Amino acid sequence: MNRICLTMGDPAGVGPELLIRLLDRLDPKTSPDLLLIGDERILKFASQQFAGKRANTWFQNARILNPGEISGLGRFNLLSLSNLSPQKIPGERGSKKHGKAMWRYIESGARLCHKKTCAGMVTLPVNKEAMLKAGCPYPGHTDLLAHLDGDAQAVMMMALGKLRVGLLTHHIPLREVPKQIEPGKILSILKIMDRALAKDFGITKPEIAVLGLNPHSGETGRIGDEEIRMISPAIRRARNLGINAFGPIPGDTAFARHQAGEFDALLALYHDQGIAPIKALGFERVVNVTLGLSFVRTSPGHGTAYDLAWQGKADPTSLWESFQLARRLVRNREQNYA
């Protein structure tokens, strides 16, 4: 079973258009079975504006699912969980109503993966503030999915081809980062990355470099000692467990060394340290991957892009890369976790 579900994300963002453009790239005869989770009215409205021949073929053969009982799935399935008005979308942007809808799409996708109805999910961008208005305690995908997966420890990783960057911390103030750097947490994330790189990405004995917090990794304590007190002990413990961890290495050389093939992945300590360089190298192709879940999850590496939404200008490249990576990870899981 290799069915993939795709959640629509923010109705007012680029998600609906990107889903239509993805369908135009997929051959109904050769692609895996699909299950779209979102809003039937919004997606059909988007298809009227943006669909080409292939997307129209998909929608002509769509099976509309009953949210109360999902059965009799076909090649292309649409699970509609909200009933939003396309004409009211601009005025309702960022609303509690939209936030509740986005939250429900994600919960349903995770549930379908748990039931093995789907092997993985690809999520479209959401508006975190709208989800907070709706009462969601975990407005970001990573933390929400970890909660829905039995409070698993999930790791956010950005991928650009063979360039892979995991994050120790992500959406927290920079002043809080040093408080989160402790050996046990670093070791735990290295374990998750090592297992995912081996089982999901198919890399034999993956090599992971841990970045330093301070410039030049602290210069042996002269400009910071977190590397000595926290990071190096965690790396030693990881290596004692058979994990090929290295570092801490300076952030200003880490990406050049990774691109040269010296490592299979990097572990950055905070959001911009890891994400800013990888997006500069290929913003339109970056994929967000959640490691540590019981199912595959990927997402485009960009946001809702309100400035482009519903204008026919959205670039589907990152979604295409996310979908293709999800397919590859699902195949690898079926082989390596059997």
Domain boundaries, the chain: 1-150+294-338, 153-292
Q: Write the pLDDT tens digit of every residue in 194-213.
A: 999 999 999 999 999 999 99
Instruction: Give me the architecture of the 1-150+294-338 domain, per CATH.
Output: 3-Layer(aba) Sandwich (3.40)
Q: Which long-range contacts (CB under 8 A, 24 or more apart) does 232-241 make?
A: 233/183, 234/183, 234/184, 234/186, 234/187, 234/190, 234/210, 235/186, 235/190, 235/210, 237/183, 237/187, 238/186, 238/187, 238/190, 238/191, 238/194, 241/187, 241/191
pLDDT at 30 over 90: no
In this model, does residue 336 exceed pLDDT 80? no
For position 338, what pLDDT does the model report? 56
Residue 111 scores a pLDDT above 80: yes
Burial 287-313 (b: 16+ CB within 10 A, else e): bbbbbbbebbbbbbbbebbeeebbeee
Q: What is the pTM of this model?
A: 0.93
1-150+294-338 and 153-292 share one fold: yes
Give residues with Cβ within 8 angstroms of 201, minimum separation 6: 164, 329, 332
Q: With the C-alpha atoms ordered 55, 59, 62, 64, is the resulting torsion angle positive or negative?
A: positive
* DSSP helix/strand/coil, 1: coil
66-103 residue pLDDT tens? 787 787 788 889 999 999 999 999 999 999 999 999 99
Neighbouring CB atoms inside 10 A of 131's CB total: 25
Say what percent of the chain tops pLDDT 90: 79
Greater pLDDT, 171 or 325: 325
Task: Answer yes or no: are the C-beta atoms of 43 and 78 closer than 8 Å.
Answer: yes
Q: Is the pLDDT of residue 153 over 80?
A: yes
Give the single-character DSSP code of 217. Answer: G
Pick from 140, 59, 154, 151: which is nearest to 106 by CA?
140
Tell me the C-alpha to C-alpha distance, in Å, between residue 144 and each of 104, 268, 295.
11, 21, 14
Superfamily in which the 153-292 domain is placed by CATH: Isopropylmalate Dehydrogenase (3.40.718.10)
Cβ contact 13:95 at 8 Å: no
